[in-house]
Structure 1
Amino acid sequence: MTSTEHPVFVSLPEEQRELIAAVNGVVAPVPAGTLDSLGAAAVVAGPHEVALRDLWDVVTRGRFWDHVVDLAGQLSAAGVKPGDRVLLDVAAGWEQFAAAVAVLRAGCVCVPLPPPGAGTDAGRRAAPTGSGATVVVTQRGLSGRPTWPSEVTVLTPRRDPPAAAASVDPPASDGSRAAFLLPRPAPAGTVAAWLGYSHRVLLNALTEVNRRVGLGVADRVLALAPAESGTWLHETFGALLAGASVVCAAENHRHDPGSWLAQGRRDGVTVCFLTTAMLDDLLAHLARTGDPLPETLRAVVVHGGWLAPGRVVELWEAAGRGLTVLYATAPVWPGPLTVLYDVATVADDWRSVPVGAPVANQRLYVLSEARNPCPVWVTGRLYAGGLLGEPVPAVSGGTVTHPETGEALLPTDLFGRLRPDGLVEVVGDETTQLAARGGTVNLRDTEVALHTHPAVRQAVVVVSAVDGRAAAFVRPRDGVVLSAADLNTYLRTRVSPFLLPARTEIVGALPLTRDGRVDRVALAAGPDVVVPLVVTPPTPTPAAPSGDRTTELMLRVTAVASRIFDVADIEPDANLMDLGASSMQLVRLASVVEEEAGIAVDVEELLAFPTIAVIVGSHLATESPAPAPDTVRPVGAARDDLDHRPVVDLGGVADERIGRRRTSRAFAAQPVSLAALGALLGATRSIRSRGAEKFWYPSAGGSYPVQVYLLVTPGGVTGLAAGSYYYHPRQDRLIVLDPAGALPAAAHREINRAAFRQSAFSLYLVGRMSAISKTDYADLAWDFTVFEAGAMTQLLGQVAAEHGLGLCPVGAMDTDPLPDLFALGAQDRFVHALLGGVPLGTA
């Protein structure tokens, strides 16, 4: 309800009133129509263009729209009327997006639900009553969870809609009707409120973010957010409106940066939206593994928390190139991103990155407790106005009125201040307000101070709901030992005594909400939600070996490192990171040293001990006699912690073939015989046995979607011309695809390029997703495809060793050249590659 309170208005100096008016005075035409109608226009413009990709399918705009129109028709046939609320209970992926568009196409309000489990069941059970929904759209395989009330109509989209599905004419609208109703979670998995957003509000926000990012038809947007998050609307509907394609991440990959980085590289992602917590995880992953960002990535939209300037600098350094960073804020959560700041540079005196200013047609005010406008630099609560304050038909509001203009405003949970340059800074939220000496202090200052400590990766300070005192949760950088006492000593010289935490926890990970934000409410409720830190004792740095061979290699590696790091001279034991080297530069050093000096570098060891001595010492160790069996360093994740339990000795003899299996990263300049290559490929052929077709490895539902493609280098295989081929498993034949087919070394990651250049041939395992998507295993199509490729890789490795061949597995590369090289279809997906040849030293 709109508040009837009208506090006494306190006027500001004229220049500050003009500044506030300028900040909120940007006006632009609001796109006419609805999300679905403008989406339909994008489909008509390019029906054969790719609209979405997920881990198991590639969907064109035309096929996507067939599903939209068909489900909209189902809704109409079921008696659903425009304005009705429809629950969306579909697993993450392209079908979820298609179902959401169909709900809007039928003129209804879409109400996305989180999946069962993970503390969401209470909210799901109450969703029909709380949201006023009478229909749920679900998915085959999901319809049994939960049991919906009898008065709720359950619809399941058809998997293969007819080509000429009847269209549903959407009701005429100026965009003011409700489009989405988003749940705002409360503790115990319930819903605190349902926030409604009109087509008009969402179109304005999506097009403004698209404009600032420069989103267009050449872009591929990684969709990581859950459907009940406002960010998901930008990742999906925003991309559709701009003509870009969407790359849908799997539900269980949302908080795993390694997984979505690999997907981003495979699918050529150009734009992604990351919360500040996800950015922290990404930066930690890059520093720990040396894993590169996708070369295609050009823009990152950061949201969902305060942004430390150091995070932006670290991201730019990891990219090693120009990368657009847009800092975006949803004043009312969950909701669209309506406050933006283009981070072009980071000032030395910034404590945090400002959130910027509202987009066109939106307004943002800093008001005091009495709801008077706050002067510049004075902290107050943030209120959102403009389109966000407009009433949404059939959706109750929670607005108050502006004391001077009388416009409707939405109160936010954020506290901030206006700077003289017209930018707004967020300085805290409800969880950071601590009562002290009859007033309130802001614990965000403590967080900011903790983030300036060089050993801190992530820090959150909240007011404990248990005792009302400040509690700090600090995640150190990898490999750093940090104590609460150290941090408290550090803070005493940087913050007021009132801001010192009563308790400081050193943690391994912080709890996250489903959309990837730090769950501050959970932290305030108690410390049992954090992941404890497991400290691994540091491994001593190996000493540099001595001798003439050592000196020779030291000089060669030093010359390469000096060139890459632009340093005149480097001592063997000098820490390369102290000289300014980044983890990405260390990975490049490993690749160049391998290519130019013939030294295989253990990248993980180099990242742990970044010295030239480690590179040379590790290489010389491989040239020395093999260590005695009892001195071999164990590898893998075997459960040695169970050795105290009773055992049963199997008394078996190890298969000698285990010792012959190895990964070859260097190949001799010698051609492979056609007979050896034929034997290798023959491991993947099929035969007729007892009236059935049999392979040497299993496949889900007997679908065998993984196909083998071959690329031969000039002179690589005796009696076989260079070019690209398809291996036909039933015919045991190579089918010529492109006699001039070739692949640039740049298509492979830098660390694999030397091996690719030396290889005589390379194999590419490609999944034909159409073969498995129509089986009973469709929901796990990609998982089973990867499993099958793994079985094939193991088999190929074993057969290669038996025929004197070596293979180098490659899991990530630029796949854009592959469709033309191997005549692939829209539903063919790269899974794995193997570089092959005669191993160096065995020729």
Structure 2
Amino acid sequence: MPERPSLTPSGLSERWGAGTAGEPAPPPALPVVAARRTGPEPPAWCRASRPTSAGVWDGLVEAARSYGVTAGEAIVAAFAEVLRTWSTTDRFGFTHVSAGARGVTAAQRERDADGRTLARRAQRLEGAGVPPSSSPVVLATALHRSAPGGARRAPVAEPSPRDDGLLGVDVTRDERGAVEAVWRWPDERWPPGAVEAMADAFRSLLERLAANGPEWTAGHLRLVPEEQLARRARTNATKTPVPGGLLHTPVIEQVRLRPHAPAVITAGRTLSYGELYGRTNQVGRRLRELGARPGRLVAVVMDKGWEQIVALHGVLASGAAYVPIDPAVPAERLRRLLRQARAGLVLTHSRIDARAAWPDGVRRLCVDTDFEGVDDGPLEPVQRQTDLAYVIFTSGSTGTPKGVMVDHRGALNALHDVNRRLGMGPADRCLALSGISFDLSVYDTFGVTAAGGAVVVPDPSPYPDPGHWARLMDAADVTFVLAVAALLEMLAAHLESGGERDRIGRLRTVIQAGDVLPVTLPDRLRALNPRVRVYNGGGPAESCVLSVMHAVGRVDPAATSIPLGRPMANQRYHVLDERLQPCPDWVPGEIHIASEVGLAQGYWRDEERTAAHFRAVPGLGERVYASGDMARYLPNGDLEILGRKDFQVKIQGVRIELGEIEAALAEHPAVASAVVVADRTVPDLPLLRAFVVAAGEGRPVVADELRLFLARKLPSAMLPADITRLERMPLNANGKIDRLALTGGPGR
């Protein structure tokens, strides 16, 4: 359809206005993407018309008069509310072009977070105008009386499309009293269906205002389309029965069914279910004698090995909960965590006991030497499902570690769902890559044994050793791996470079969780073994191991991210804005997780922090966890993770998806993996810095070549200031890429 002619209003340049007074508000932070055109051709603009029913104009006039405003002012205020719903900021500006009986005028309107009602916002419009800026969002209204005879008048204030424009909306009325809004936008800049949903919300809001609805006096309007909310309700319909028992008690049933089947496999030793159960009872019995009971914490400070699995099961058998601590932490941190956990009992290994700097007053027991001769007979469980199973300390933004308290019921809920989805059974072997201070280890330790399979434990090593993992996977017939992307990429790179793909011939399922799944990794894994099913999973420690999952099919070569998926059993995910209101599809917001059974109890001995993060949200009517993770709902009901709330990046006014730059770098044949971070050394002037690991010794990484490569794919605002080659990416204690180490920032 050809573009309609437009009239450039007086006082405006062809860029819809130039010149500012004071400090104008920035444009709304809408869910747009960076322009990808590299040639001189103009963008293709889309068009959507949304007329209201007849008589809406007259209703608006009458209702607006009762609040001391005009219908035109109400329309402008309503448009601002729609922008607010699709924007991630409360304060923003847009250009308003008005064609009236006195000609065409223009002003820059602002919407801020003052908490006023829509009626009060409309009253302030006359005083809010400043000389118009070159805003990429323009509302044009032509609402004066039609020409004699009622002939339909072509809009005279419709803005001309421009290369950097994002949205133009032309509002008119006809002789029937219908109000028509024509929305126009560059197709390449908007995700599918986003503008159409905004247009529908605007029409619906005008009709409700014309009926003098409660929206006039509402401080916050709920404009997310009902069909989107209904789809999310279906996505969150995850209620299912919670399995019975405790986290460690499924071993009892496996002992009855298959006492001689392998339960724990290491390079040097295999424990049957009968042996695991007997040693677990020895540890549990001795700990009970020393005062372990429900609600108490027993620290486990151990390297990987069969003893570690026995220790974790043994603590739960005693009735207490375990708190895992990496034996490699500095002495001061070890003392601090033991003191904070009030853990007077510690399970460790003799080689660690000899070298660790233990604080006074701590009773240590070595699993490899101190339990010989202890009765290994059955122990009757003494705790309930709602008693603590473990407390995992994670880094806190304030510098104080926070202990996430998880009960048996919450962990069981997640492990049972994983086993059900994947069909885990006695033939499965799970490679335990995660350290026990990372909550993915809960599945390694208790999930596979609940299904009757075996956990395969690598040898302890100060550094990741993918060669050892591959050999162990081959020897133990590993079928399942749950790990963060960085460890999976190391394994894939080793198998690719060494020609050892046959070592994972029995592997059938891989779940990446705890970090962002690179778009290239699923196909790399399937190239090594076509039988492998790849899943993207996630969920913070506060949502009990895993709470969301996505089966990864074919990955579009143009994709910049892989969906996080949909909520798992008894979990519900809400994406909320700063006002704790639902965000529309495509609009980023903070993930809030709700569950009656699948949330942590809170933070160990920290009521203030617990209250801040676990709270009831008005309108949801349920306790939720505010995760700090940013995501958006996609139109099919999937969630897409966007990073941390405190790691949002905006460069030169453009919202940047770091994953998009990383994906582009990974397409270069010399790059095996890439990470992009925002360096905020200079306040308010973040710089993008890229770090890459080479694909092989024979492929040099040349920064200038990579910059040229990126320049052919990305707009200038997304190009890193520098590109640094690393031998390997720095990892934190949980095996995740340590992005803060790359920026030089403090640990979190």
Question: Structure 2 unaligned runs (5+)?
Answer: 1-114, 116-217
Deviations 1:595-620 (A, max 9, x none): xxxxxxxxxxxxxxxxxxxxxxxxxx
For residue 299 of structure 1, what is the aligned residue in structure 2? Answer: 509
The Cα shift of 1:85 comes to: 0.8
Q: Which residue of 1 aligns with 2:127?
A: none
Query: Which of the residues 324, 339, 360 maps onto 1:150?
Result: 360
Alignment correspondent of 1:361: 570
Note closer, same or farther for the CA distance 1:380–1:322 as it changes in structure 2 (3 Å cut). same
The answer for the alignment partner of 2:634 in structure 1 is 419
Task: Judge conservation of contact 1:23–1:358 (CA < 8 Å) in 2.
Answer: yes
Question: Letter of the aligned partner of 1:449 in structure 2?
Answer: A
2:687 equivalent to 1:469: yes
Tell me the SS of whatever aligns to 1:183: strand
1:37 aligns with 2:249: yes
- Relative to structure 1, is the Cα distance of residues 172 and 187 closer, same or farther in structure 2, using a 3 angstrom cutoff? closer
Change (3 A) 1:331 1:138: closer
Assess if the C-alpha contact under 8 Å between 1:301 and 1:325 holds in 2: yes
Distance verdict in 2 for CA 1:100–1:390, change over 3 Å:
closer
Matches within 5 A, 1:801-820: none
Task: Give the whole-Å Cα distance in 2 for the aligned partners of 1:172 and 1:192.
Answer: 27
Query: 1:121 corresponds to which residue?
Result: 331
Correspondences of 1:52-451 after superposition (within 5 Å): 52-117=264-329, 120-157=330-367, 159=369, 161-162=372-373, 164-173=375-384, 175-185=385-395, 192-252=401-461, 255-292=464-501, 293-319=503-529, 321-332=530-541, 336-386=545-595, 387-389=597-599, 391=601, 396=606, 397=610, 398-430=613-645, 432-436=647-651, 441-451=656-666
Residues 222-272 of structure 1: CA distance to partner in whole angstroms, max 9, x if unpaired?
111111111111112001101001111012186121111011111111111
CA distance in 1, matches of 2:704, 2:577: 37
Whether the aligned pair in 2 keeps the contact of 1:196 and 1:392 (CA below 8 Å) is yes
Whether the aligned pair in 2 keeps the contact of 1:381 and 1:415 (CA below 8 Å) is: yes
Q: Is the 8 A contact 1:90 1:139 kept in 2?
A: yes
Partner SS state of residue 374, structure 1: coil
Is the partner of 2:709 in helix, strand or coil?
A: helix
Aligned-residue offset at 1:440? 5.4
8 Å contact 1:70–1:167 — kept in the other structure?
no
Change over 3 Å in CA distance of 1:363–1:419 after alignment to 2? same
Could you tell me which residue of structure 2 aligns to residue 626 of structure 1? Answer: none
Q: CA deviation at 1:95?
A: 1.1
C-alpha separation between the residues in 2 aligned to 1:331 and 1:237?
18
Secondary structure of 2:227's partner? helix
Q: Distance in 2 between matches of 1:144 and 1:264?
A: 31
Q: Is the 8 A contact 1:7 1:371 kept in 2?
A: no
Q: Deviations over 1:725-755 (max 9, x none)?
A: xxxxxxxxxxxxxxxxxxxxxxxxxxxxxxx
Tell me, what secondary structure is at the counterpart of 2:673? strand
Between the aligned residues of both structures, percent identity stands at 29
**Closer, same or farther in 2 for the Cα pair 1:209/1:481, shift >3 Å?**
same
Specify the alignment match of 1:15 in structure 2.
Answer: 227
| CA–CA separation in structure 1 for the residues paired with 2:572 and 2:603 | 21
Say which is worse superposed, 215-224 or 326-335, in terms of deviation. 326-335
- Quote how far apart the aligned CAs of 1:98 are: 0.9
Q: Distance in 2 between matches of 1:323 and 1:25?
A: 29
Q: Distance in 2 between matches of 1:76 and 1:326?
A: 40
What's the CA shift for 1:352?
1.8
Rounded Cα–Cα distance in structure 1 between residues aligned with 2:221 and 2:274: 56
Residues 278 and 132 (structure 1), Cα distance of their counterparts in 2 relative to 1, 3 Å cut: same
The answer to which of 7-16 and 506-515 deviates more is 7-16
Give the aligned partner of residue 731 of structure 2.
512
SS in 1 for 2:351: coil
Return the TM-score normalized by structure 2: 0.65
Report what 2:88 is aligned to.
none
CA deviations on 1:30-83 (whole Å, 9 max, x unpaired) are 111211223322233222211111122111111111111111111111122321
Change beyond 3 A, Cα 1:459–1:335: farther
Cα deviation 1:196-223 (Å, max 9, x = unaligned): 1111111011111122222100111111
Give the whole-Å Cα distance in 1 for the aligned partners of 2:308 and 2:476.
Answer: 20
Give the superposition deviation at 1:439. 7.9
Alpha-carbon separation, structure 1, partners of 2:643 and 2:291? 47
User: Is the aligned partner of 1:28 residue 2:240?
Assistant: yes
1:163 deviation in Å? 8.0
How far apart in 2 are the matches of 1:7 and 1:200? Answer: 40
Gaps of 5+ in 1: 530-843
Q: How many Å separate the matches in 2 of 1:461 and 1:7?
A: 39
Cα 1:121/1:212, change in 2 over 3 Å: farther
Structure 1 residues 51 and 138, CA gap change in structure 2 (3 angstroms):
same
* CA shift for structure 1 position 93: 1.2
Contact 2:294–2:387 (8 Å) recurs in 1: no
- TM-aligned CA distance change 1:496 to 1:196, over 3 Å: farther
Count of aligned positions = 519
Contact 2:538–2:546 (CA under 8 A) maintained in structure 1: yes
* Deviations 1:64-120, CA, capped at 9 Å, x for gaps: 111111111111111223211111112211111111111111111110010135xx4
Q: Is the 8 A contact 1:331 1:384 kept in 2?
A: no
Decide which of 518, 522, 525 is 2:741's aligned counterpart. Answer: 522
**SS of structure 2 residue aligned to 1:195:** strand
Instruction: List per-residue Cα deviations over 1:247-299 (Å, max 9, x = no partner).
Output: 11012186121111011111111111232112222222222211123222222
**Pick from 455, 458, 464: which aligns with 2:670?**
455
Q: Could you tell me how far apart the structure 2 residues matched to 1:504 and 1:413 are?
A: 29
- Cα distance 1:352–1:394, how it changes in 2: closer, same or farther (>3 A)? closer
SS, match of residue 482 in structure 1: coil
Closer, same or farther in 2 for the Cα pair 1:213/1:450, shift >3 Å? same
- Contact 1:84/1:134 (CA < 8 Å) preserved in 2? no
Question: What displacement does 1:314 show?
Answer: 1.8
Alignment of 1:666-681 (within 5 A): none
Deviation at 1:187, TM superposition (A): 9.0
2-side partners of 1:447 and 1:432: how far apart? 15
Distance 1:224 1:475, change over 3 A: same
Mapped to 1, the partners of 2:494 and 2:476 lie a distance apart of: 20
RMSD: 2.8
Return the offset for 1:335. 5.1
Contact 2:592–2:627 under 8 Å retained in 1: yes
Q: Counterparts of 1:176 and 1:356 in 2: how far apart (Å)?
A: 28
Report the alpha carbon displacement of residue 392 of structure 1 after superposing the two structures with TM. 5.3
Change (3 A) 1:7 1:462: farther
